[in-house]
């Protein structure tokens, strides 16, 4: 996936939540565009979200190790 493709994924309106699956098998959910920050080499994903909606921590995901991006079906997850 190109850097531009990640930018488009995060700027899509309406935003479509997605899951990032890493080559290690770990996965992270991006439920809101403000929960992810894109750099040239990494995607920083907010984790451990507090009640106020602000992430307490973040995970650095190297773009080289992203195995796939999957859409999240929030209706079935609830």
Question: Distance between CA 71 and CA 34 in Å, rounded?
Answer: 17
Q: How do residues 16-74 score in pLDDT, each as one tens digit? A: 999 999 999 999 999 999 999 999 999 999 987 778 878 889 999 999 999 999 999 86
* Pairing of the two strands 36-38 and 27-30: unpaired
Does residue 76 have a pLDDT over 70?
no
* Burial (CB count <10 Å: 0-12, 13-18, 19+), residue 19: middle
Q: Kindly state the tokens that stand for 62.
A: 């190297």
CB of 38 closer than 8 Å to CB of 3? yes
CATH number of 3-77: 2.30.30.100
Domain boundaries, the chain: 3-77
């Amino acid at each position: 996936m190109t850097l531009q493709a990640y930018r488009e994924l995060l700027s899509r309106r309406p935003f479509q939540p997605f899951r990032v699956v890493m080559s290690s098998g770990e996965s992270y959910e991006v439920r809101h565009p403000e929960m992810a920050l894109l750099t040239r080499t990494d995607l920083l994903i907010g984790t451990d979200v507090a009640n106020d909606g602000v992430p307490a921590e973040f995970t650095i995901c190297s773009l080289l190790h992203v195995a796939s991006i999957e859409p999240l079906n929030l209706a079935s997850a609830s």
